[in-house]
Amino acid sequence: MTYVRYIDKTRDYYLREGYDKPYRWAHFEDAPFAALKMPLADSRLALISTSEIARRSDADQRTPLEKGELGNVYTIPSDTPLADLYSHSLSFDKHATSLDDVNAFFPITPLQEKVAEGRIGSLAPNAIALFNAYSQRRTREVDAPEVLALCRADAVDVALLVPV
Amino acid sequence: MSLVARHLEANGIPTVVIANARDIVEHCGVARLYFTDFPLGSPLGEPFDADMQRRVVAGALDLLESATGPRTTVEAPDKWSQGEAWKAKVFSADQPWKEKGGQAEKEWLEKKELYRKLKEEGKL
């Protein structure tokens, strides 16, 4: 079976649900491309996630919504023990899968293995996370530049982005 | 997330996106997409299948290295072990994305309200 057309499916779904205006997904004709500057084995990689990844050990366990946050960028130390990580997100196909295994959406363990094998030079000390802003302008003008600044501060060479 | 990838690429940082929603990412346009044909929420593969997750990460790293131009999509060879029935059901009338009156719907409505408020305050 071919892959799911989510743009068509969600448009039909939300029209049936009574929403009048279909969401306009971001669209560009061109796409920027940066070539690798050095072998991956010498590169520092940052993991970037929209999975609402959180730490159980944090004092503040409110969801992003409870904190009044949309589109905020934050970091999670890459050496956080796996058992300390979880996701607040309710935005996944709960009929077909779960968020019970962090590595199925925030692949920190396989990345650490790739560093140990020498496939990647190193992991950035921080993984970068951001919440869905529901505003493409906000993502382009505020959040994306903030992610870039965090990458530069950690001397990141390449990035692996995993949306949820 | 595609918008963030584009911004990094435009500023010289090579990226690879691992995603389940191929059409949404390709509609936006990124440099490299490693497409995994799994339900939303499991971009790396099946929960608790560490071998599958390893293969997906390895495939994405290979793509990061091998792509020679933008909009390069590679599909991961792994299949969802419980078949493809989920594809017909997702966002269908008989399987609501957000159960009426459920927590996800409540949160969605609250998010919409927060979005409206932040926009009014000029914070979005």
What distance in Å separates the CA atoms of residue B33 and residue B73, rounded to the nearest whole number?
A: 5
Shared-domain flag, residues B35 and B62: yes
CB-based contact (8 Å) between A19 and chain B?
A: no
| DSSP-assigned letter for residue A2 | P
CB-based contact (8 Å) between B34 and chain A?
A: no
The domain of B109 spans: 91-124
Residue pLDDT, tens place only, A132-152: 877 899 899 999 999 999 999
**Nearest residue on chain B to A9, alpha-carbon basis:** B91
Show residues of chain A in contact with B8, CB under 8 Å. 34, 144, 147-148, 151, 159
Yes or no: say if A95 and B86 are a contact pair by the CB < 8 Å rule.
yes
What distance in Å separates the CA atoms of residue B58 and residue B80, rounded to the nearest whole number?
A: 18
Burial class (CB in 10 A: 0-12, 13-18, 19+), A75: middle
Q: ipTM score of the complex?
A: 0.95
User: What's the domain count of chain A?
Assistant: 1
The domain of A127 spans: 34-162
Tens digit of each residue's pLDDT, chain B (124 residues): 999 999 999 999 999 999 999 999 999 999 999 999 999 999 999 999 999 999 999 999 999 999 999 999 999 999 999 999 999 989 887 777 777 777 777 877 887 788 888 888 877 7
What distance in Å separates the CA atoms of residue A132 and residue B108, rounded to the nearest whole number?
A: 12
Show residues of chain B in contact with A33, CB under 8 Å. 9, 31, 67, 69-70
Mean pLDDT within A95-120: 97
E runs forming strands in chain A: 44-49, 53-55, 73-77, 85-87, 122-123, 126-130, 158-162
Shared-domain flag, residues B60 and B102: no
Shared-domain flag, residues B78 and B18: yes
User: What's the domain count of chain B?
Assistant: 2
Shared-domain flag, residues B100 and B121: yes
Q: What H or E segment, with its residue span, contains residue B15? A: strand B15-19
Tell whether A7 is covered by a domain. no
Tell whether A85 is covered by a domain. yes
Show residues of chain A in contact with B6, CB under 8 Å. 28, 31-32, 144
